């Protein structure tokens, strides 16, 4: 799942069930996934810092740009727990970047949406994000990048049905 994995594979333990060639490549892919995750997260933090947000706040605000949603709905959509989203949503409200509206359909599940300040922050971030993805993606072959996306989608599917 990380460097441990490769150490384990190449290392001092008995190889009871050997890895296939594809398994070896996937192990490398997994390690790169962890590195990329860290790198993208760091890039997000660099982008959000001047705007006064964090990557997590950006994510939550972004989920609700087009229409208000209750916290639990955001969590469902982002595959996070209610509790994680709730914490951030409350923070965003306390910072004036979002607000709760009464929900006619549910007395407890208030609707969550950005304020004008929230929209403005996300709008500024969109520009930074576009510049970033344009800049980075220019350094790889477009067709190969498409293949990468396809493979990653298949891996996500495979993981989900693997349980």
CB of 100 to DNA, least distance (A): 9
**In terms of CB distance, is 12 or 105 closer to its own copies?**
12
Q: At what angle do helices 116-137 and 55-62 cross, to 10 degrees?
A: 110
Q: What is the 3-state secondary structure (H, E, C) of 7-74?
A: HHHHCCCCCCCCCCHHHHHHHHHHHHHHHHHHHHHHHHHHHHHHHCCCHHHHHHHHCCCCCCEEHHHH
**In terms of CB distance, is 42 or 106 closer to its own copies?**
42
**In terms of CB distance, is 18 or 104 closer to its own copies?**
18
116 touches its own copies (CB under 8 A)? no
Task: Report the partner that residue 134 touches, choosing among its own copies, DNA, none (CB closer than 5 to 8 A by kind).
Answer: its own copies
Contacts (Cβ under 8 Å, ≥6 apart) of 76: none
56 touches DNA (CB under 7 A)? yes
Binding region for its own copies (CB under 8 A) out of 81-89, 90-98, 102-110, 134-142? 134-142
DSSP β-bridge partners for residue 101:
111
Tokens of 86: 């709730």
Mark residues 132-151: x for contact with DNA by CB under 7 A, - for none. --------------------
């Amino acid at each position: 799942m990380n460097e441990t994995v490769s150490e384990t594979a190449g290392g001092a333990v008995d190889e009871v069930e050997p890895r296939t060639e594809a398994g070896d490549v996937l192990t490398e892919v997994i390690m790169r996934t962890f590195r990329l995750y860290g790198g993208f997260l760091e890039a997000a933090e660099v982008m959000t810092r001047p705007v006064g947000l964090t990557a997590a706040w950006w994510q939550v605000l972004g989920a609700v740009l087009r229409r208000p949603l209750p916290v639990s709905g955001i969590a469902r959509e982002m595959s996070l727990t209610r509790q994680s989203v709730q914490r951030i949503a409350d923070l965003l409200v306390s910072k004036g970047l979002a607000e709760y509206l009464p929900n006619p359909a549910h007395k407890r599940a208030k609707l969550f949406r950005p304020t004008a300040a929230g929209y403005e922050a996300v709008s500024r971030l969109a520009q930074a994000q576009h510049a970033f993805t344009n800049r980075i993606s220019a350094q790889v072959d477009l067709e190969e990048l498409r293949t990468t996306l396809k493979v990653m989608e298949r891996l996500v599917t495979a993981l989900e049905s693997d349980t």
